[in-house]
Amino acid sequence: MTFKTRFAPSPTGPLHLGHAYSAILAHDLAASRNGQFLLRIEDIDRSRSRPHWEEQIYDDLNWLGLSWAEPVMRQSERPHIYNQALDQLWSQGLLYPCTCNRRDIAAAVSAPQEGAPLLGPDGIVYPGTCRKRTDRTGSRPQDVPLRMDMAAAGQKLLGEAKATKTVGAFHESGAGPNGEAGTIEFTLSDLTDTIGDVVLSRRDMGTSYHLSVVLDDAAQGITHVVRGQDLFEATRIHVVLQALLGLATPHYIHHELIRDESGKRLAKRDDARAVAKYRNDGASPSDIRAMVGL
C-alpha cells in the first residue's frame, strides 16, 4: 500500500503560517517514505469558499516548492458520495433531523439542574432535545440538518462484544494536545458525554466536515492523516464514521499549532501571517520553513 498523506485546506481565506507548516510536514513525510502527497480542496461551505482563494492555494503551495499527485479532489464535486453515505446511516436508524440553533441549545443546557455545559469538538455537547422527537422511518428527509445519535452508533459498534468497553481506537503517531500518543481508545460514554450527537448534514451543505473528511480520506486512499491538534478530539467521530461505513481507519499524526506571539492560534482572518504577505515582503520559501521551525 502506497504511503499517502494529504493537505486539505478550505478556500475561505489566505494560507497562513499554520497551513504552511501542516502542508510542509505532510509533504515531507510522504517524500521521506517514498509515498504520495495529495491535495484536497475542502469547499463544502459554498457561502465562504471563493475561486480566487483556491487559486491562491495552488500558487502558494507551488511557491513553497510543494508538488502533489493529481488529481486534486474538490469536495464540491462529491455531493452524490455524501448523499449515499447519509442514506446508509439513515437506513441504519442512526440519524435524526434537528433544527435547534445555537440559542436553543444554549437555553436547553442552561437549565439549573444541568450544571456547566460540556464543550465537545463542535462546541456545546448537544443535549439531545430532538433525539426522541422525530420519526426515523421512511426515506431520509432532505433540506434539514441531520444529527447522528451517538449512543445508538456506539451501541451498534459494540455489537456483540459487550465484554469490552472499547468502542473504537486509532493510532496516533504525533500527539494530542495533552501529549496523547500511541493507541488511543475510547468508550461509549466518552462518545456520548464528551462529543454527543454531532451534525452530519448541514442545511446548506448537505454534508458536514466530519462526514466529508472521512469519505474523502478513504477515497483518496490516505494512509497517514497529518493535521493540527485542534482536530484531535474530532478524530473519535471520524473513527466511528469509518467503522459504520466500512472504511479503514488511517494513522493520525496531529501536530502542534503555530501560534502568534501572544500564544493565540492563527486564524484564517489573520492575514498578517498569510504566506502571500511574507512572500510579497521578500521572504523565501526557506524563510517560511524557518519561521515554523522546519
Under the binding rule (CB under 6 A), the answer on residue 8 touching ligand GLU is yes
> Which DSSP symbol is given to 70?
E
Q: How far is the CB of 264 from Zn ion (least distance, A)?
A: 32
Distance CA 159, CA 244 (A): 12
C-alpha cell at 15: 494560507
Q: How far is the CB of 113 from ligand GLU (least distance, A)?
A: 36
Angle at alpha carbon of residue 115, lines to 155 and 179, rounded to 5°: 65
C-alpha cell at 276: 502571500
Pick from 5, 9, 37, 214 the residue near ligand GLU by CB under 6 A.
Answer: 9
Residues 6+ apart with CB under 8 A from 181: 172, 173, 174, 175
Q: Is 4 or 210 the residue whose CB approaches Zn ion more closely?
A: 210
CA 34 to mean position of chain CA atoms = 26
Local structure of 173: helix, strand or coil = coil
Under the binding rule (CB under 5 A), the answer on residue 106 touching Zn ion is no
Distance CA 225, CA 216 (A): 11
Instruction: Pick one of ligand GLU, Zn ion, none as the site partner of residue 231 (Cβ within 5 to 8 A by kind).
Output: ligand GLU
Distance CA 167, CA 190 (A): 9
Local structure of 225: helix, strand or coil = strand
Instruction: Pick one of ligand GLU, Zn ion, none as the site partner of residue 8 (Cβ within 5 to 8 A by kind).
Output: ligand GLU
- Residue 198, burial from CB neighbour count under 10 angstroms (0-12, 13-18, 19+): buried
Under the binding rule (CB under 6 A), the answer on residue 15 touching ligand GLU is no
- Choose the stretch contacting ligand GLU; rule: CB under 6 A; options: 8-16, 156-164, 182-190, 194-202: 8-16
- Choose the stretch contacting ligand GLU; rule: CB under 6 A; options: 7-15, 110-118, 164-172, 245-253: 7-15
Q: How far is the CB of 227 from ligand GLU (least distance, A)?
A: 4
Under the binding rule (CB under 6 A), the answer on residue 227 touching ligand GLU is yes
Q: How far is the CB of 225 from ligand GLU (least distance, A)?
A: 6
- Choose the stretch contacting ligand GLU; rule: CB under 6 A; options: 4-12, 106-114, 135-143, 145-153: 4-12
Under the binding rule (CB under 5 A), the answer on residue 100 touching Zn ion is yes
Under the binding rule (CB under 6 A), the answer on residue 86 touching ligand GLU is no
Q: How far is the CB of 174 from ligand GLU (least distance, A)?
A: 12
Distance CA 199, CA 146 (A): 6
Which residues of the chain form contacts with ligand GLU (CB under 6 A)?
A: 8-10, 42, 213, 227, 231
